[in-house]
């Protein structure tokens, strides 16, 4: 019975962590180091007291917030050091302009899909400057924008209602064989494009390569930001 009485008791530090963790603005301010601890403590004091069920000294809340902020700073510094260690000299990058995305929708008819697959095989035999990705509903053929290539795919585009998206560039991040943390690179690239609000036309990930397809005007910016992080 004694243990049941205290089973749901929440300590003041636990209550503070809970309130801060449930508010993105508070956490972001702590991460960025722009928080006035006393002002924040005064703001969340009623919530803390409601959770713990008793009055709480303001300085106690300030001290707890400071500890959480210090912990976040250490975590962020550790992550930055990890970024430098893991990405240094472990990836190669390339930027290719004048890329077109030729999209073929897969048909419900297996015979039509076989014909399209046969055409693609012929294209691959004649040209090596491409990336092919497919889903359950379509093929996406990424290749250089050249008159020769457009002539090669013209028939298939007409027959299979293909669509060409032009004005694109391709960023390729290739991992070296000794890189043991490919998912770290994937996360790094994703965070850079998200944090800088860089629109992506397509993105493809394999165990040793990241391929980003972006508009020409965005590709140079994304390339430089990623290059700076990777330390190439």
Look at residue 171 and give its three-state secondary structure. Answer: strand
Rounded percentage of the chain residues whose pLDDT exceeds 70 = 77
User: Could you tell me the pTM of the whole model?
Assistant: 0.53
Predicted confidence (pLDDT) at residue 83 exceeds the cutoff of 60: no
Q: What is the rounded average pLDDT of the residues 12-39?
A: 86
Dump pLDDT digits (tens) for 29-81. 887 778 888 999 999 999 999 999 999 999 999 999 999 888 888 877 666 55
Determine the Cα–Cα distance for residues 17 and 22; give it in Å rounded to an integer. 9
Q: Residue 177's pLDDT band (boundaries 50, 70, 90)? A: low
Determine the Cα–Cα distance for residues 48 and 16; give it in Å rounded to an integer. 6
Q: Which of 42-46, 115-119, 140-144, 219-223 has the lowest mean pLDDT?
A: 115-119
Sheet arrangement for strand 91-105: 130-134, 138-144, 91-105, 163-175, 209-215, 202-205
Neighbours of 82 (CB within 10 A): 12
Q: Residue 198's pLDDT band (boundaries 50, 70, 90)? A: very high
Beta-bridge partners for 93: 173
Mean pLDDT estimate for the chain? 78
């Amino acid at each position: 019975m004694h243990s049941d009485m205290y089973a749901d008791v929440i300590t003041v530090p636990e209550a503070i962590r809970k309130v801060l963790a449930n508010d993105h603005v508070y956490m972001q301010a702590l991460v960025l180091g722009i928080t006035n601890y006393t002002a924040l403590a005064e703001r969340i004091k009623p919530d803390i007291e409601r959770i713990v069920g008793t009055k709480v000294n303001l300085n106690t809340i300030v001290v707890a917030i400071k500890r959480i902020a210090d912990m976040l700073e250490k975590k962020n510094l550790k992550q930055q050091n990890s970024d430098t260690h893991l990405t240094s000299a472990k990836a190669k990058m390339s930027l290719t302009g004048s890329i077109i995305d030729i999209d073929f929708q897969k048909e419900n008819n297996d015979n039509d899909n076989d014909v399209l697959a046969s055409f693609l095989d012929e294209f691959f035999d004649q040209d090596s400057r491409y990336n092919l990705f497919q889903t359950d509903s379509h093929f996406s053929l990424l290749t250089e924008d050249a008159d020769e290539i457009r002539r090669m795919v013209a028939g298939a585009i007409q027959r299979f209602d293909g669509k060409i998206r032009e004005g694109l560039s391709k960023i390729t991040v290739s991992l070296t064989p000794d890189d043991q943390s490919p998912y770290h690179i994937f996360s790094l690239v994703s965070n850079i494009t998200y944090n800088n609000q860089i629109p992506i036309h397509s993105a493809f990930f394999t165990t040793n390569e990241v391929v980003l397809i972006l508009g020409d005007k965005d590709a140079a910016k994304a390339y430089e930001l990623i290059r700076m992080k990777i330390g190439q």
